[in-house]
Structure 1
Amino acid sequence: MKTVFMTGVTGYIGGSVAVRLLQAGYDVRGLARNEKDFPALKALGIQPVAGTLNDEAIIAAEAAAADAVINTASADNPYVVATILEALAGSGKKFIHTSGSSIAGDKARGGYAATEAFTFIPKNPRLEKAARVAIDRAVLAGGGHYIVICPTMIYGNGLGIKKDSVQVPLLTEAARELGHGVYIGEGENRWSNVHIEDLANLYLLALEQAPSGSFYYAENGIHSLKEIAGAISKSLGFGGKTASITIEEAIHRWGMEGAQFGLGSNSIVSAVAARSLGWLPVHNNLLSTIFHSEHD
């Protein structure tokens, strides 16, 4: 039985991927910071490894001992990635790094920008995303069997100990407080999206079949933030009522990153490469999932 070492197993993506790997017969060892999470991880079948992202020796040793490594802890931590790449150098082992499709973000402040969907890493990303792009490129050029998966707006109940994603819950929390769905500016900006179960399946497929140097966006749908705000409003019993907030209000509420890129930009990408690998996502129902999540 093959062993996969993972970072981020207490998170939404990592926990879901870990459970999917366990279902497929893999052993999963997962870096975990808080001992209070160990019983829940063990209950799922994940073997916790005590440590943090700053524990280079632990990460290096686990990476060297495992049959494959998956990083889902941070798309923006070059130290973790460098440690893993150094530990795996010359081994031929697979390493999957997790990016995020805000690398294709445009800082549109809620406006819609009609652009062709990105199929690969942007050649000229915005300065705010240059560091993340540099990490992605370093992984692909690392000289081993290395792969990058780049999720879009993720939705659905997580399979691990963390059940909630990021963007939709942030908007839901704001809507509850304000009594209506919210979006930034015109709300016409659009995000590609993917269901967490489909995303977890892509990790498994990539682990088993992806060639070295592969880069995969994960998407199976696209919606404007105004549409999402409307679905959230309906789910909370506000009858679909929505209203705009300014980018300044959004920054105050969600911080610069969350406002400008997480919720205010366009992130329009294509999973043509993942589909060419044989990925067959089955969920394409973000809006109805939002509605039913508050009514089940």
Structure 2
Amino acid sequence: MNIFITGAAGFIGGSIATSLVKKGHQVTGLVRSAEQADEMTALGIVPVIGTLDDRAMLIEQARRSDGVINAASSDHRGAVEALIEGLKGSNKPLLHTSGSSIVGDASGGKGGGQVFFEDKLPAATPDKAARVAIDDLVIASAKDGVRSAVICNTLIYGLSLGVDRDSVQLPRLLKQARKSGIVRHVGPGENVWSNVFIEDVAELYALALEKNPAGTFYFVESGEASFVDMTNAMAEAMGLGKSQDWPLKDAEAEWGYEMANYGLGSNSRVRGKNARELLGWVPKRTSVIEWIKHDMLKG
């Protein structure tokens, strides 16, 4: 297939793009600079320089492709509208990347947390309403002849398969620990996130390009863990003392409101059946704790 992917210079998009090239697909990747374009070329990806605001370009690339993956932003409505416009009536796949912070509870590191399922999504919180509205727009495009999917990733761990980029959550904890000599988690760190290995994520996208039924929502997960367990595993791997609680206000000063409250300080517990039942997806790795202990520091 000839696939157009936004965010090809990022951790998720770059890993997916590189994996698709290795499977024999032709991949065109949207990047922002000539330097990133050179990175793409070295990986066998055809670069297109532009931004998510280039509506005409996005429509053209979508029309020319056999399928589109949006891995650049979960929150750029204009880009999604342009991609849908380019794919209308084609029955080609549009895989839109979302994230399970849409069900995050911003608990300040406290535990508990409700478990959410693909067929019973909660009403959006004010912080996440715009993102959920984009997810809904993607699902609704199935009525306009787009073989659309929302792929809602959880905490992704693992090393990049393509360009040298970090995932969103665990590397921030690692960077802070290296800077301070203390591994920290938000509040008591009892909050739990579902998680998934990057190679399994890339495989799911590849399967969805071929098999996705139009208008499908996927939670992407293969396990879950609390942040205190993840940070203690990190401390063990680094040879440091036990991880420590960090007041939310200090975490916000380090990582900003969104990351401290949702990315690292919330519960985000989900269960995904659709990838397994509709696509035949079988994740190969299911323990983030084992990866942290044995593989995280290899990057």
Cα offset, 1:21, TM superposition? 1.3
Instruction: Tell me the SS of whatever aligns to 1:137.
Output: helix
For residue 174 of structure 2, the aligned residue among 167, 172, 175 is 172
- Specify the alignment match of 2:218 in structure 1: 216
For residue 149 of structure 2, the aligned residue among 130, 147, 150 is 147
- Specify the alignment match of 2:195 in structure 1: 193
Instruction: Tell me the SS of whatever aligns to 1:109.
Output: coil
Equivalent residues of 1:75, 1:100 under 8 A apart? yes
Give unpaired runs (5+ residues) of structure 2: none
Q: Are 2:89 and 1:90 equivalent residues in the alignment? A: yes
- Specify the alignment match of 1:281 in structure 2: 283
Instruction: Tell me the SS of whatever aligns to 1:180.
Output: coil
Q: Are 2:264 and 1:263 equivalent residues in the alignment? A: yes
Cα offset, 1:123, TM superposition? 3.1
CA distance in 1, matches of 2:72, 2:247: 31
Cα displacement string for residues 59-99 of structure 1 (whole angstroms, at most 9, x for unaligned residues): 11111111111100000110100111111112221111000
Give me the CA root mean square deviation: 1.4
Equivalent residues of 1:121, 1:133 under 8 A apart? no
Alignment coverage as a number of residue pairs: 294
Instruction: Tell me the SS of whatever aligns to 2:269.
Output: coil
Equivalent residues of 1:40, 1:161 under 8 A apart? yes
Cα offset, 1:287, TM superposition? 1.5
Cα offset, 1:177, TM superposition? 2.1
Cα offset, 1:31, TM superposition? 0.6
Q: Which is worse superposed, 165-174 or 107-116?
A: 107-116
- Whichever residue aligns with residue 87 of structure 1, its letter is G
Instruction: Tell me the SS of whatever aligns to 1:294.
Output: helix
CA distance in 1, matches of 2:160, 2:210: 22
CA distance in 1, matches of 2:120, 2:84: 20
Give unpaired runs (5+ residues) of structure 1: none
Cα offset, 1:116, TM superposition? 2.8
Cα offset, 1:121, TM superposition? 6.6
* TM-score, L = length of structure 1: 0.96
Cα offset, 1:181, TM superposition? 1.5
- Whichever residue aligns with residue 78 of structure 1, its letter is R
